[in-house]
Amino acid sequence: MIHKLLIANRGEIAVRIIRTCREMGIKTVAVYSTADKGGVHTRMADESVCIGPPPSKDSYLSQHNLIAAALKTRCGAVHPGAGFLAENAGFARAVRREGLTFIGPSPEVIELLGDKVSARATAVTFGLQVTPGTQDAVSDMDGARDAIRRIGFPVIIKAAAGGGGKGMRIMRREADVEENIRIARSEALANFGDERVFIERYIEKPRHVELQILADGAGTVAALGERDCSVQKNHQKLIEESPSPGVTDAMRERMTTGAVTMFRELGYCGAGTIEFLVEGSEWYFMEVNARVQVEHPVSEFVSGIDIIRQQILACTENRLETGGAAGHGVPLSGWAIECRINALAPGRIVKLEVPGGVGVRFDTCLAEGCFVPPHYDAMVGKLIVHAPDRGQALAKMERALSELVIEGIPTNLKRQEYIIKEKTFRSGNFDTSYYGSIEKEAEHVR
């Protein structure tokens, strides 16, 4: 077992990793930009190191500064967290080159799965269905038009190296092809340093469903059930739940079988998520996130498994503690829901009251007196609940949201309360277009 680990991230996910490391007897080193000086994660860790000024490119995305901090503090491993360099194969390779353990899959697997074009091709080889689209990145406009005629409108352009809605354009008519591909390429280059894009059929109103996977790199793969992430604004998730109200047992069985086979054959190591678009009883492979996901707590609640702990054990000792169960064998129980709490502006927290009770958890980087900077992701916390069924989970979330108090900055707390009470969401009959249909009402609630 390693004795000290550097967390190459910030905020809530850094706090989350520190807590598990404490339980495992692993010392932690937090890193921070000057904007995060005195942040909760820096106070909780055993040591903290400043890695640069506020811009991410000069701090949390600086591979040199991160690795130098790990070596200076004599760490044995680096945990990339979620976001920033978590799926950067070059960073994983650089960490390993210095003799440190990277808490994640191999650089080769990250490269394969991080490129959406190669990931689609890989999924097909393992029997996973993909939406009709181009096999390779679009190389010229004539080829793009030919592909679109074959696929049929509407189509969506996606960045081969991207995510989070960047480099993504929906097209419904041929007259828009050239302009949209140009814009998508420009966004892809600006955000990911790679202008390649591909085209696939656009599914108008799918559910967004993902499977949580753990693998030890030695053939053991455990699936911890699916999460429904369909409540989104501009492709950014707002609410996640497990299981999905739109997935049947038969669908779950087929999705899980293909996913487990894929991760096992790739020799995947650590935590990962395979994402699908679900349309009725059909489901299509979308992508793999080769890291721990922000929404992992809902899977922890229904499985009773600490995903961060298993991720560390898999990558340092090539083993999992899932009771010897692999594939479909991990028993799941109850229903879990997570609401992401986002800051709508920077500022200082003057009051924080956190809800409690059985099956209630609040993962956050907030504390009274701390400053929320404007430079990074808006998410400042995640409220998660667990109950025997969806009805009870909804009631618990409604109660927990009413108890959560954050003063000093504006947040989306009231918007989340609106969604949890809204009749269509409560029915379970919704898709990725849902938030757009209630956005006006949700964002004007006070």
> Phi/psi at 120 (nearest 5 deg)?
-60, -45
pLDDT at 165: 74
pLDDT at 174: 85
pLDDT-derived band at 328, boundaries 50, 70, 90: low
Q: Where are the domains of the chain?
A: 4-103, 132-201, 207-442
CATH fold, domain 132-201, is Dna Ligase; domain 1 (3.30.1490)
Give the integer Cα–Cα distance in Å for 16 and 312.
13
Residue 390 known to be catalytic: no
Top-tier CATH class for 207-442: alpha beta
Q: Are 222 and 321 in contact (CB under 8 A)?
A: no
Q: How many CB atoms lie within 10 A of CB 310?
A: 25
Average pLDDT, integer, range 240-250:
96
Q: Are 151 and 199 in contact (CB under 8 A)?
A: yes
Domain 4-103 has CATH 3.40.50.9100: no
To 10 degrees, what angle do helices 89-97 and 107-114 make? Answer: 170
**Active site residue: 185, 264, 291, 340, which one?**
291
Model confidence at 190: pLDDT above 70: yes
Spatial neighbors of 286 by CB under 8 A, at least 6 apart, are: 208, 275, 276, 277
pLDDT tens digits for range 48-79: 999 999 999 999 999 999 999 999 999 999 99
Average of per-residue pLDDT values in the chain: 94
Sequence letter at residue 293: Q
% of the chain exceeding 90 in pLDDT: 84
Helix (H) or strand (E) holding 43, with range, is helix 40-44
* Exposed/middle/buried for residue 67 (C-beta within 10 Å: 0-12, 13-18, 19+): buried
pLDDT at 226: 97
User: Quick one: tokens of 254?
Assistant: 């087929």
Sequence letter at residue 111: E
Spatial neighbors of 139 by CB under 8 A, at least 6 apart, are: none
